[in-house]
Structures are given as structure tokens and as C-alpha cells.
Amino acid sequence: MSRFSHTIDSHVYQFASLKELLAKATPPRSGDVLAGVAAASARERVAAQLALAEVPLALFLNEALVPYEDDEVTRLIFDSHERAAFAPISHLCVGDFRDWLLDDATDTAMLARVAAGITPEMAAAVSKLMRLQDLVLVARKCKVVTAFRNTLGLEGGLSTRLQPNHPTDNATGIAASILDGLLLGSGDAVIGINPATDNVAQVVSLLHLLDAVIDQYQIPTQSCVLTHITNTIEAIRRGAPVDLVFQSVAGTQAANRSFGIDLSLLAEGQAAALSLGRGTVGNNVMYFETGQGSALSAGAHHGMDQQTCEARAYAVARAYRPLLVNSVVGFIGPEYLYDGKQIMRAGLEDHFCAKLLGLPMGCDVCYTNHAEADQDDMDALLTMLGVAGCNFIMGVPGADDIMLGYQSTSFHDALYARRVLGLRPAPEFAAWLARMQITDAQGLLRTALAPAFQAALHRLGSQV
């Protein structure tokens, strides 16, 4: 008899390892089928979920999915685990943990106290037993507040990354997108550019452009050029005005190696940014992006399902106290998340797991044009994430990233979510919007642009 099993209608379903059990219990997604780790049928999946519900949480502290001696992410997970934080839930199995999380008596303060005692694998396991509404309810109770030039993650907030990408990094085009976003109340999480030309000289040029805009208008926000961390470290050495250090991260050492990083390099980038002291209300200087399927696409998933791999990436992120983390949920493509239904499930899982682990989680609510998804699917996911207390989303002109070639959320989508759910930007940014007469006393956009802002637009235009 295998270590894990469950019987349905006299058929005994057996699972040889904790890794296999987690994979078979995962709700359907194309990436797990591609990897050959998915359940063969809905009945096998249910059997795996029922078996997983009986697994003690303590087992995850005794059994590594990737060997400790072979993987620095595994070592980070085990070495940073806080036994005292784990104590209140140490007697629970995965199914009981689900019930505890959903209990009204388990409040925000309790979730914050146990966060450091929850491993990524525990979070992934319990998410596999949850419906979408369960993921939303628990994530909503998790509050993670971070700060740099403004304060993000406060109760009732929904922030946006203003994403003014341009296919040729044209300064005028980037500036026009930035101003468009600011006029529509976007940009409090970060004004962040994915550079089309990824070299240090171009990165430095874009950083100076962003710094000039923020300084010109005295905007209480932060900037970031989403280049490789080695480029950002070199830009800091050259005296560039770096606010946040960006890097994509994954859940295994081998996957991170495919990105050209390791944990020591992340620590070096964090230290370099902290040395600049550019934050005014806080010193969270890191920005991480993740996404289900990245480890599989690198051939570095070690036989794990993609959602468990993704949760392990959050252990990497939380080690460096980031200002921002987001899952680019539908960006990799239908090979990993086939359609709108799978993208929605993955987005809510990612948000839930990261928040449970104590991360300031956002989401790029997105899809590629060859996926079986459309903007209606994104509207549904956006709304559920807003209800779930997502820290931030993307603001892309027209929801169409013309440089990266994928579909995301627009400035207007963020306005919709804020209005329908009664949410607002970071308080410092909201005050700036009011001071610049972009919004009125109720926080709604004004129909006419204030003369002071019109003059500022002309000044910036002449400078560009």
C-alpha cells in the first residue's frame, strides 16, 4: 500500500509520494498535463484531494519536495521556518487547516501571526481543497502593508502599476502614456517600464526619464525599470536614480538559474537599493514577478505541479521584504493555463497563497491572444481579486501592451474596480490627485483638467 491513498466505490487510488499527491490533487490546468503530473480523471483528482485533506501539516516540515542538499530554495524554506509561529496550527491536517482559515474567529491578526510558520507547500496544499469563494474569503482577511514613497496594502485600497511600455522605448511615447495614466488616477503602486532595449545605458536613460516626471510633479510614488537585476545593480553603480529593484523569481534553484539569478544576487540588489535611501515613508525596495509555468518552461520543476512550484517562489520573495509582488498570471500562454477558467483559478490561488505567506500580492490580470480567453474573463477575475483584497493591478493604455504583445487591464478597468467596490489609491497618492485637481472631494475624476496640471503638461512636453 502506498503512503497516501483513498478509496472511492471500492477502487483504491494510491499516491506514491507527497509530491505526486499534491500534483494529482491540483484542479485542472494544461501545464500539469504537459508535464505528465496531472490526475488522469476527475475521480482520481477527488481521491487525491480527500487523501491530501488527511495529511498533517507537520509532515511538510519533514519531507522536502526537492532535496534540501540540492536546492537553495528548499534550504531557504526550511531554514527560515518559524516554529513558534507554526505552533497554533501545528496539530492540524490540511483539511482542518482549511476549516481554520475559513473560520470567522480566525482574523487578520491571527493570520499575520502564523504567516512565518506556513511553508509554501502548506499554502499550496490547502488551496487545492478550496473553491474560488474560499480563496477570496481567506485572502481578504490577509492584510500586508508596505511602503516606499507611499503606503500600499491598507484596508480599502487598490493600487495600480502604471505600465507605459513602448516598442522602441521612445521617450515621447512613454511620457504620453505616463501622463494618460496619471490623469486617470493610475500609478500609485509604481510607474514601471519593461524596456524594449535591455542594456544598461537604456535602463539608465529610462530611469532618469521616470525620475524627472516624478520630481516635476512631486508625485508620491516610485519608479522601476523592469530589467535584469544585474543591470539595475550596474545602474546604481553609475549613479542612476533607482527606486525599486526588479527581478522575476521562481520556486526552484534550477529555475532561478535559468533567469540568471540566485539568492545571493537578490540580496546584493536589495542592499544596493537600500544604500541609496530614496524612500520617504518606508524602505521596501524590491519588486518581484512570478507566474505559474515558469519552472516547467525551464525544465526545472522537479516533477512538481506548477502551482506548488509557484507557491515556492513566494518563499524567495518574502525573504527580501518586497514592496510589490505580482503574478503575471496568463502571460506565459495556454500551454500552462489553457483558458479563462484556468487563468481565473490560478490568479486567485496565487493571490491567496502569497497573502497567506505574508506577501504584498498583486496580479497582472492578463492573457495572450492565442489563449482561450477574452476581456470578459479578465473582468471577472479583476472583480474577484478586488473583493479578495488584491494589493495592486496593472494599468496599461487600452489594456493592450503594444511592446510585450499581451492583453492586461487598463486605467479605466482600475477605475471600475475602485468605484464598484468602494476602493481607493494609496492615501498619499490620493491626496496628490486631489491637490492637482485631477479628482474631486469624493475622489472621482474631474471632467475638466486643472489649469495647474495643464501648465505642467506643457512644461514636461517641452522637456521631452
- Looking at the chain, the whole-number percentage of residues with pLDDT higher than 70 is 96
17 annotated as ligand-binding: no
* CB 286, CB 267: distance < 8 Å: no
Which residues have CB under 8 Å from 107's CB, separation 6+?
Answer: 141
* Closest listed residue to residue 231, CA positions, set 265, 262, 254: 265
Cell 544576487 belongs to 265
247 annotated as ligand-binding: yes
Question: Looking at the predicted structure, is the pLDDT value of residue 1 above 60?
Answer: no
Q: Which residues pair with 392 in a beta bridge?
A: 159
364 annotated as ligand-binding: yes
pLDDT band at 234 (very low <50, low <70, confident <90, very high): very high
As a whole number, mean pLDDT of residues 315-337 equals 96
Q: Tell me what pLDDT residue 161 has.
A: 98
Would you tell me how many other CB atoms lie within 10 Å of the CB of residue 132? 18
List, for residues 238-276, the tens digit of each pLDDT value.
999 999 999 999 999 999 999 999 999 999 999 999 999
Q: Tell me what pLDDT residue 110 has.
A: 98
* Closest listed residue to residue 179, CA positions, set 365, 416, 442, 449: 449
List, for residues 271-283, the tens digit of each pLDDT value.
999 999 999 999 9
Q: Tell me what pLDDT residue 460 has.
A: 60
CA 193 to centroid of chain Cα atoms: 16
Torsion sign over Cα 27, 301, 246, 194: negative
195 annotated as ligand-binding: yes
Q: Tell me what pLDDT residue 453 has.
A: 62
* CB 427, CB 443: distance < 8 Å: no
454 annotated as ligand-binding: no
List, for residues 391-400, the tens digit of each pLDDT value.
999 999 999 9
Cell 507537520 belongs to 58
* Closest listed residue to residue 425, CA positions, set 443, 445, 438: 443
162 annotated as ligand-binding: yes
Domain 146-436 in CATH 3.20.20.70: yes
The x, y and z cell numbers of residue 136, run together, are: 477570496
pLDDT band at 337 (very low <50, low <70, confident <90, very high): very high
44 annotated as ligand-binding: no
Average pLDDT value for the chain:
95
Superfamily of domain 4-141: lyase (1.10.220.70)
As a whole number, mean pLDDT of residues 123-132 equals 98
* CATH code 1.10.220.70 region(s) in the chain: 4-141
194 annotated as ligand-binding: yes
| Separation CA 382–CA 394 (nearest Å) | 10
* CATH code 3.20.20.70 region(s) in the chain: 146-436
Q: What angle do CA 107, 145, 316 make, to 5 degrees?
A: 95
Question: Looking at the predicted structure, is the pLDDT value of residue 152 above 90?
Answer: yes
- Looking at the chain, the whole-number percentage of residues with pLDDT higher than 90 is 93
Q: Tell me what pLDDT residue 198 has.
A: 84
- Kindly report the pTM of this predicted structure: 0.95
pLDDT band at 441 (very low <50, low <70, confident <90, very high): confident
Question: Looking at the predicted structure, is the pLDDT value of residue 74 above 60?
Answer: yes
The x, y and z cell numbers of residue 386, run together, are: 478586488
* CB 330, CB 341: distance < 8 Å: no
